[in-house]
Amino acid sequence: MTLDEIYRKENISVRSYHVCKYNNLNSVIDLKEYYYKFKSFEKLRNCGRKSNEELIEICNNYQSNGFESEKFKTEYQNPLIKIIIGLTRVQRDVINSFILINTNRLSVRSKNAISLYLEGNLKLKNFTEKISLSDSFAIKNIKNIGIKCIPELENYISNINDFLIEVNESNDEKHLISLRNNFLIQQTFSVSQIPNKILESESIFLVTDFLLNKNILFDETQTTIVKKALKIFKNSPELTLDNIAVVVNLSRERVRQKKVNCLDNLLNKLLFLQNFNDDLFQKYGIDTNSDQIDINSNVVDVINNTNNTNLSREFITYILFAYLCDSFSLVGNIEDVIQPKHFNARKRHNWKHFYLIKKNIDTEIDINALANDISSRISDRIEESYSFNFKSYLSRFLTKNNIEILDLAFPIGEKIVNDEFEIYLDLEENIIFKRNTNKQAYEYAYEALEQLGKPSKVKEIFEKVLELHPNYDTEEAKIRVSMKRKDGFVPIGRKSVFALKKWEDELDNFKGGTIRDIVEEYLTQFKTPKHISDITNHVLKYRPKSNQSSILQNLKLDESGLYMFFKGSHIGLSTKKYENDFIKLSKVIRTEIKTWEERFDDLINFIAQENRLPYSAGCPEDEIKLYRWLNIQKGKISKGKLESKKEKIISEINNKYPKTNGKRSVDSSEKYTELIAFVMTNFRLPSSIKKGEENLYRFFYKKRNLFNRNELESEEEIKFIEVAKLLQNIKNENKRN
Query: Rounded distance, CA 301 to CA 307, Å?
Result: 10
- If asked whether residues 194 and 84 sit together in one domain, one would say yes
Which stretch of DSSP H or E encloses residue 287? Answer: none
Which of 437, 453, 483 is the endpoint of a domain? 437
126 & 192 share domain: yes
CB 516 within 8 A of CB 554: yes
Write the Ramachandran bin of 489: left for phi over 0, alpha for psi from -120 to 50, otherwise beta.
Answer: beta
Do the strands 456-457 and 292-293 form a parallel or antiparallel pair, or are they unpaired? unpaired
Q: Which phi and psi angles does 489 have, rounded to 5°?
A: -105, 155
Q: Residue 83 and residue 94: Cα distance in Å, rounded?
A: 14
Q: Is 245 a domain residue?
A: no
Does 445 lie in the same domain as 428?
no
- Please tell me whether residues 565 and 610 are part of one structural domain: no
Lowest mean pLDDT among 131-135, 450-454, 528-532, 712-716: 712-716
Domain boundary among 57, 77, 97: 77
Evaluate whether 227 touches 246 at the Cβ level (below 8 Å): no
Spatial CB neighbours of 528, under 8 Å, sequence gap ≥ 6: 572, 578, 579, 582
pLDDT, greater one: 10 or 140: 140
Would 413 be classed as within a structural domain?
A: yes
Q: Is the model's pLDDT at 466 over the cut of 60?
A: yes
pLDDT tens, 367-384? 999 999 999 888 887 767
- What's the rounded Cα separation, in Å, for the pair 407 and 403? 8
State which residues form the domain around 607: 596-656
Q: Evaluate whether 43 touches 54 at the Cβ level (below 8 Å).
A: no
The mean pLDDT value for 398-417 works out to: 92
Q: Are residues 492 and 471 in the same domain?
A: yes
Q: 688 in a domain, yes or no?
A: yes
39 and 114 inside one domain: no
CA distances from 86 to 79, 127, 183 (A): 11, 16, 22
Task: Give the pairing type, strands 497-500 and 328-331.
Answer: unpaired
Asked whether residue 476 falls in the same domain as residue 501, the answer is yes
Residues 107-121, mean pLDDT to the nearest whole number: 88
| pLDDT exceeds cutoff 80 at 216 | yes
Alpha helix positions (H), 272-344:
280-284, 297-307, 313-324, 334-337
Can you give the pLDDT at residue 668? Answer: 54
Residues 6+ apart with CB under 8 A from 34: 25, 41
Amino acid at 396: R
Residues 6+ apart with CB under 8 A from 430: 387, 388, 389, 390
* Higher-confidence position of 176 and 215: 215
Name the DSSP class of 2.
Answer: B
Mark whether 623 and 727 lie in a shared domain. no
Of the CA atoms within 13 Å of residue 691, those in its CB half-sphere come to 0
The answer to whether residue 333 sits within a structural domain is: no
The model's pLDDT over 50-65, given as tens digits with 9 standing for 90+, comes to: 888 888 888 877 765 5
**pLDDT-based confidence at residue 223 (cuts at 50, 70, 90):** very high
> Residue 666: which pLDDT band, with cuts at 50, 70 and 90?
very low
* Rounded (5°) CA angle 137-139-144: 120
- Which residue, of 77, 109, 126, is where some domain finishes? 77
Strands 386-389 and 292-293: unpaired
- Residues 290-308 have pLDDT tens digits of 999 999 999 999 999 999 9
Specify the DSSP class assigned to residue 398.
B
Question: Rounded CA gap, 209 and 221, in Å?
Answer: 17
User: Are 541 and 509 spatial neighbours (Cβ–Cβ below 8 Å)?
Assistant: yes
User: In the predicted model, what is the mean pLDDT of the chain?
Assistant: 83
Query: Same domain, yes or no, for 384 and 467?
Result: no
Any residues with CB less than 8 A from the CB of 55 and at least 6 apart, and which?
A: 16, 19, 20, 31, 35, 41, 47
Show Cβ contacts of residue 283 under 8 Å, excluding neighbours closer than 6 positions: 203, 302, 306
Q: What integer is the mean pLDDT of 347-376?
A: 92
Rounded to two decimals, the pTM is 0.46
**Where residue 415 falls among pLDDT bands split at 50, 70, 90?**
very high
- Range among 130-139, 150-159, 688-697 rated most confident: 150-159
Check whether 74 has a pLDDT greater than 50: no
Whether residue 114 sits in one domain with residue 65? no
Do residues 410 and 475 share a domain? no
| Coil, helix or strand at residue 84 | helix
- pLDDT at position 549: 82
Is 314 a member of any domain?
no
Q: Give residue 514's pLDDT.
A: 83
* Residue 25 belongs to a domain: yes
Q: Is the pLDDT of residue 710 over 80?
A: no
Q: Strand 563-566: give its sheet, edge to edge.
A: 530-531, 570-573, 563-566
**Domain count of the fold of the chain:** 7
CATH number at residue 547: 1.10.10
Compute the distance between CA of residue 680 and CA of residue 618 in angstroms, rounded to an integer.
Answer: 22
- pLDDT value at 390 more than 90: yes
Q: Is residue 583 part of a domain?
A: no
Q: Which residues pair with 565 in a beta bridge?
A: 571
pLDDT band at 475 (very low <50, low <70, confident <90, very high): confident
pLDDT tens-place string over residues 679-704: 888 888 888 777 778 778 878 878 88
Highest averaged pLDDT of the listed ranges 41-45, 303-307, 468-472 = 303-307
Confidence label for 91 from pLDDT (cuts 50, 70 and 90): confident
Please tell me whether residues 619 and 692 are part of one structural domain: no
Secondary structure (H, E, C), 167-218:
HHHCCCHHHHHHHHHHHHHHHHCCCCCCCHHHHHHCCHHHHHHHHHHCCCCC
| Percent above pLDDT 70 for the chain | 91
Distance separating alpha carbons of residues 100 and 275, to the nearest angstrom: 14
Instruction: Judge whether 262 lies within some domain.
Output: no
What one-character-per-residue DSSP string does 596-652 give?
HHHHHHHHHHHHHHHSSPPPSSSS-HHHHHHHHHHHHHHHHHHTT-S-HHHHHHHHH
pLDDT at res. 664: 46
pLDDT in tens, 497-548: 888 888 888 777 778 878 888 898 889 989 889 898 999 998 888 888 788 8
What integer pLDDT is reported at residue 665 of this predicted model?
41
Q: Evaluate if residue 440 carries a pLDDT over 90.
A: no
